[in-house]
Structure 1
Amino acid sequence: MTLFDNLLVILCLVGASCFFSMSEIALAASRKIRLRQLADEGDVRAERVLQLQAHPGSFFTVVQIGLNAVAIMGGIVGESAFRPHFIALLQPWLADPWLGKLSFLLSFVLVTSLFILLADLMPKRVAMAMPEWVALRLVAPMSWCITVLRPLVWLFNGLANGLFKLLHIPTARNDEITSDDIYAVMNAGAEAGVLDRGDQQMMENVFEMQTVSVTSAMTARDTLVYFLLQDSEEDIKRKITEAPHTKFLVCDGQLDTVKGVVDAKELLIRVINGEQISLEGSNLVHNTLIIPDSLSLSESMEYFKNSRADFAVVMNEYALVVGIVTTNDLQRAVMGAWSLHESEEQIIARDANSWLVDGVTPITDVMRAFGIEEFPHSQNYETIAGFMMYMLRKIPKRTDFVNYAGYKFEVVDIDAYRVDQLLVTRLDALDKAQ
């Protein structure tokens, strides 16, 4: 055979190896979600790729048979094709035994380099860059190879399955998508600029609704403004003036004896019409939804949806009112800072390294604001004030502090044993200041 004939054979072998390399990487890297989308749109090739992904044993057996066979043949052909030409080239300067050894080494390096560059690196990088596109175009010839080599596939696949079974190694591909996978996709999208950071945060908040308690979004008991059945018209007007809400809780004598809820618009209509306002024995007080404090945000949303309500009283196991929650509160939990008025912000930056934090700020909001992965035993508290109480193992007082996750959490304001405000400072910033 001439040098041209040998080169042609080598290039054919390189092309065959390129085909098997691209097929292997494309099948492994193809995204199941994208393939399923193409299959639903009527692409038969996508369905065949999905079938190979579900049962890849025969496919990878053919790939390994092809790659090893081509590599062996390439070595044989390459050595006989290029060695005589290297001998003729080096004969004027070298004599045996160095002439034969160096010629063999050069032919080996040349053939190996061709296979590494053209049959391995380049096709695999192309397949990694666009796996679905490559997989769709190579699935038909790969299926044909599987059919032709079925006897060998049956033999080697059976041996491999027997060894896997003996070693208790699973062979089925796990395509279950977890919440961590979705978080990773959203983070990648945000880093690539495809997804806005605000949209990413909102979607993460939606996923967290299943694990975050409703108490993290409610208006706490100690800040509630409510009416008593016994309140006079002047008391009602004063409370509305001081806290102009759309709805008010109505109780009998004390907060824990809930009678219902009154709409401020109905009170306004009575005032406009010059009618007397009285809650006792009137039709102003309507029934209200009562939910347990053990519900998650998503479960609370379901309660609102089923009852067609937008206001609920949150009670604990002792039938004590712990707060109220509205659909706006749940929306705020999802939308985060987008739905907060400036005056309602619970975390306010003083400078680049310190923040003032309201004591009732949900612990999940603190985690997001400061990039803290988790708080210790967070199932025991819902707010940053609860975190301080848990860590200090006492009722906090002014100047008490806790160092955690690179931050100093210091109590700066107390209101009747309640942690009203904390100062959060980066510890490395404190060390530099000292």
Structure 2
Amino acid sequence: MSAVILEIVIILVLILINGFLAMSEISVVSARKARLQSRADEGDSRAASALKLAENPGTFLSTVQIGITLVGILTGVFGGATLARWLAAQLSQIPVLGPYAHTIAVTAVVLTITFLTLLLGELTPKRIGLANAENLSMRIAPVMSVLARVTAPIVHLLERSSNALLALLRIAPQSEPEVSDEEIRVLLAQGTRVGIFEPIEGEIVEQVFRMSDRTVAALLTPRPDIVWLAPDAPRAAVHQAVQASGHSRYPVADGDLDRVVGVVTVKDLFAAAGGVTAVPQDVMRAALFVPETMPALRLLDEFRTSGSKMALVVDEYGGVSGLVTAGDLVEAIVGSLPGPDEVDEVQAVRREDGSWLIDGMLPLDEFCALFNVRLADDEDDWYQTVGGLVMGVLGHVPKAGEQCAWQGLDIEVIDMDGRRVDKILVTQPSVTQEEMKQ
């Protein structure tokens, strides 16, 4: 009887060791490195140990696998043979079960060990590890670090052997994948649902991701809309331009925008002694020129280093195609910020019949996100706005009333501003009336 009890104790201990290893594995793998790094920066040595294990998953997982394999072998050795013989002897005393006592005993012992292994050695420990990953990983880190040092020679041999096998099979070892934009979006969505993040925070991060894919060409004020001043503009003309446009900065150009000689601010123009408006050439500053292909986020760095708040955008031929201000970059992230006397013009309005009235200057990436469509590679390179896309699809400068189809969308040109597409009407034939109502 003592041998049976000893065997039961050994099997239970092995199952619990297996559970500890399984819990250690899942807690370290699923622990958030950012939280561990924060605790480590605060001086928590356990967090530093856990972070070291998490940053070397190959070595750590090999150590865990060695332990689990060893436990499995020992469980097989002890396997309940003594317990099965004892149980068979008890069952053989029952006349009806006597002929089948051994089979029933072995089956019962195997099923019991399997059940306990799954319950105590796998499922429950892993759920515990997932539920409290960071704290558990810090608690088990010292033990696992010692175990990793003990098994280091075996782990090294296994890694060399597995790498050699992968090389033989011509399979390149995979490095740890970088965190993708989509993973961050999923985390933000989860955090918003449970109240960790405000909805506006997720929207701002989404706009930052979008902005990282944009060039300044997607954000500029086009050349026809630029208000500029001549270097020797009379004070009356300066007053009229400032009052009509309401801008705080203006390019100074000698004849046309391809000969920009500087920029001026309203503050400098009206800061002259005696309240007299200055002539632009007397107070202008050096202009900042950037190419159309410059990433929008890099322009933000240019603004920081140069101290300028306005950049003239030039095309590949050196001509000015538009301008971008620091305010344009801010609005691309947080949305439109109208002034006290301005009305925030919405660039996309859904009508009662389900169609959309779209401003031709709506950035193309926002248009695609609105209708959940993807751009072809060549379209992504050629067009910056919806108006540009419509011109490209039609192949000419359109007139009001012209229609085209693109990516399952029916597009009609509603209004033109000279040669520029001002407003379009977009309908989705696949959208049902019920969906429109919703």
Shift of 1:147: 4.7
Q: Distance in 2 between matches of 1:312 and 1:61?
A: 55
Q: Could you state the TM-score of these two structures normalised by the residue count of structure 1?
A: 0.84
39-48 or 355-364, which moves further after superposition? 39-48
Shift of 1:114: 0.8
Shift of 1:61: 4.0
Q: Distance in 2 between matches of 1:342 and 1:52?
A: 56
Name the counterpart of 1:316.
315
The yes-or-no answer on 1:194 pairing with 2:193 is no
Name the counterpart of 1:357.
358
Shift of 1:318: 2.9
Q: Distance in 2 between matches of 1:57 and 1:291?
A: 46
423-432 or 33-42, which moves further after superposition? 423-432
Shift of 1:333: 1.5
**Aligned to 2:117, which of 115, 118, 122?**
115
Shift of 1:15: 1.2
Name the counterpart of 1:71.
72
Shift of 1:410: 2.5
Shift of 1:146: 4.2
Q: Residue deviations 1:375-394, cap 9 Å, x none?
A: 55211111111111222222
Q: Distance in 1 between matches of 2:263 and 2:289?
A: 11
| Residue ranges of structure 1 left out of the alignment (5+ in a row) | none
- 2:39 maps to amino acid: L
The yes-or-no answer on 1:334 pairing with 2:333 is yes
Change (3 A) 1:263 1:29: closer
116-125 or 418-427, which moves further after superposition? 418-427
335-344 or 410-419, which moves further after superposition? 335-344
- 1:117 maps to amino acid: L
- 1:419 maps to amino acid: V
The yes-or-no answer on 1:27 pairing with 2:28 is yes
- 1:174 maps to amino acid: E
Shift of 1:267: 5.4
Name the counterpart of 2:381.
379
Change (3 A) 1:241 1:77: closer
Shift of 1:310: 1.7
Q: Distance in 2 between matches of 1:164 and 1:46?
A: 33
Q: Distance in 2 between matches of 1:391 and 1:96?
A: 86
SS in 1 for 2:25: helix
Pairwise CA RMSD of aligned residues? 3.5
Name the counterpart of 2:254.
252
Corresponding residue pairs, total: 430
380-389 or 190-199, which moves further after superposition? 190-199
Q: Distance in 2 between matches of 1:196 and 1:99?
A: 65
C-alpha contact (below 8 Å) 2:27/2:133 kept by paired residues: yes
305-314 or 110-119, which moves further after superposition? 305-314
Q: Distance in 2 between matches of 1:43 and 1:237?
A: 63
Q: Residue deviations 1:135-193, cap 9 Å, x none?
A: 22223333444455566556555544443443344557526445454444434433443
Q: Distance in 2 between matches of 1:121 and 1:339?
A: 56
Shift of 1:122: 0.5
- 1:331 maps to amino acid: V
Q: Residue deviations 1:51-105, cap 9 Å, x none?
A: 4445455544443343233334435442431453366347536345433222321
Q: Residue deviations 1:210-246, cap 9 Å, x none?
A: 4311122221112223334676665554444432222
Change (3 A) 1:110 1:224: same
What is the identity percentage for the equivalent residue pairs of Structure 1 and Structure 2?
30
Q: Distance in 1 between matches of 2:285 and 2:187?
A: 46
- 2:347 maps to amino acid: Q
Query: Which residues of 2 match residues 167-246 of structure 1 at below 5 A?
Result: 167-170=169-172, 173-174=175-176, 176-228=178-230, 235-246=237-248
C-alpha contact (below 8 Å) 1:79/1:108 kept by paired residues: no
The yes-or-no answer on 1:17 pairing with 2:22 is no
Name the counterpart of 1:292.
291
Shift of 1:30: 2.9
C-alpha contact (below 8 Å) 1:86/1:106 kept by paired residues: no
Name the counterpart of 1:348.
349
Q: Distance in 2 between matches of 1:121 and 1:289?
A: 62
Q: Residue deviations 1:317-358, cap 9 Å, x none?
A: 333222222211121122224668643332233348332221
Change (3 A) 1:170 1:375: closer
SS in 2 for 1:427: coil
Change (3 A) 1:134 1:271: closer
Q: Could you state the TM-score of these two structures normalised by the residue count of structure 2?
A: 0.83
